[in-house]
Structure 1
Amino acid sequence: MANNKTAPPALEAPLVPLKGVRVDALVALKIIKHASGAFPSIVTGQLLGMEVEGVIEITHSFPFPAVEQTPTNDFGDNNASNTAILAPRSKSNAWYQSEMMKCLREINVDSNVMGWYQSTNLGNFVTKELVENQYYYQSSTQLNERTVALVYDAARSTQGALSIRSFRLTPQLMNAMKDGKFTTESLQKYSLTYKELFQELPVTIHNSHLVNSLLHQLSSSPSTLPSFTSSLRQSTLPPPLFPNYDSLDLSIDPFLEKNCDLLLDSIETHYTELNNAQYYQRQLAREHAKITAWQQKRKAENISRAALKQPPLPEDEWQKLFKLPQEPSRLEALLNSRQIEQYAKQVDGFTAAVTAKMFAVNGGLAKIE
């Protein structure tokens, strides 16, 4: 007798949690060149690569074309930054992305979508558009769910330190985005605060072995030194070490001043959102007071009608007579709070060097006195 028992389905291997992002040096140079060419406007692009043991490897990238929009005012002005940030999820760019990836696949380039990148200026990237773009990547069935958003800060990179960060949306924010509601009840349901909006992954820049071997083989030709003392006096060779007095400059960093201005603007936006929330609470309390007074009046009417042996009036008519105000979305307030935290960290980083110089000068003046 044949055995009709079917084999149990194979269990899928659990997904390895993401540990970090490894960006190829050529990709980093492409992003820097793309952002520098359009600075201070925002640029976006696609990231391609693969995932290896929980590490997202970015091996190729290409820029997105700007989305054409109708002018928003009578003068024909158009905000290029807003059009560029809409490019990753624009329907007009879908054909361009598919054709670009098709061409890359024909030349054996990694064509797996691993995310997208965006440029920013002084850390001003915590916006609703960033959340919507990343939600589109993480929730799309056609794209890879384990994608990241790379943010390149062109202004901070000019100070000598490359600023490339990677972000993903947290599960709490993904669930709230699926519901499409950011009310107080929804935030309490998902335990969502401004600190649980993004998950940041460490970024490392990687060079291939061929590039490393080429860098090791590069050697500069030795400088020709004069043979006689007379030639040394006539030589225009620079001294081996130049004194650098720029590090002793005590002037306020212009980037620090700009960060403080942006921080003040974000604080004003926070107070505006707070006033809107308080206005909603006052409107809601006023409507509830009207509903309570109407219900008490209707109950009194029904008691008097019951004494006269008349049928009672319905007590749920208040739903047709009164309309409760709609609670405004709290997403903008959450993003603005996270942006304030970002500006505060940047101000702290900018002031660290200036504070050290001030303490050094203060200690030196005390010794002179």
Structure 2
Amino acid sequence: MLALERAIKPEDLSVGGFLAVLGEDQSLKPALFSFPSRHHPLLYSSKYTITFRHPTGLHPTLQISIPRSSLSEPPPRAPPDSKCSLHTYLTLPSSLFADKYQLSTTDPLFLQSHNLLSLRAIAGETDLEAPDWVTDRWGSSLLLELATPLSRPSRKHKTTYVNGNHNDDNDDYDEDDWQITIPLHLRYLHPSPSGYRNISVPWPVVFWACAPEDGGEGETAGGGKTMGINPFDRVGLGWDGLFAPGTLFYQLHPDTAASATGVDAHALVEQRGLMVEKIQVPVLKIGDGGGLSEDVHSIETVTLIVVCFGFLWVFRSLGEVVKKSGLGREGERRDLKGREKRE
């Protein structure tokens, strides 16, 4: 039986409790051991929720809500003299994508309106025009640095609090949650008889990244101390590989019980507790009848007729021009007629 204990070093995790070997020990023995870890949980009060603004339309907006009290200062266990910044890592299905050119902007008005700082990394399906049925991979992922409200004047340690882009006009930090919005875009999906389709979007991860002030050269934690070896750690398997060595991560907790975006009341009940948002998006409405605009064969036939008519109209217009003025330039035609007369 083990539980988390307060560690002596900021980069360590300590586990304490009682151990016993079944069949050998007659009683439990106290145990306490520590090991370095790059990932640390914050207090359970540091939570965030996820919603999609309605109606979602063709450009869904993902909204992250975080209590201001969770962002008033950097993680209390962060190493001294380290730089901490708030990030989110999104994993999007192929039906959704983020515009890397839009999020890479340096326009302060756009960034402040969404409480974003910058796009740090993006990978996967980033084609802005491709429909969903021609994408080869599962989707895309992106790392964003987020803006935070102004920190309180008092701090418990010397951790540097970075994120200079703030959109806060008052000093009441606890009145409303801090809202971060991420504009997304819907790819063209297959038609459906109802005109809508449901897609599932996994929750993003929200965390503090605290890097050493020296830039993270080598496996050093804050304060320039060399990190020990964690036998349970695997480097480069996830988004932590996008940061400098020695960076420590402090995770906020997803509050799935307080956030659900479903298509009906029954789906809302089932969705609570899951780190997946199910949203309803519009698609082309095509049924088994019910009108010319809803029958796929009728649409294909009408499209073919319109295209053929357009080609015939273009050829007819060109023929009238040639018939009226002939081929070639007017000067060239006069020279040709003059040579024919001399011959």
Using the size of structure 1 for normalisation, the TM-score is 0.20
Using the size of structure 2 for normalisation, the TM-score is 0.21
Q: Bigger relative contact order, structure 1 or 2, given CA contacts below 8 A and separation 6+?
A: 2
More strand by percentage = 2
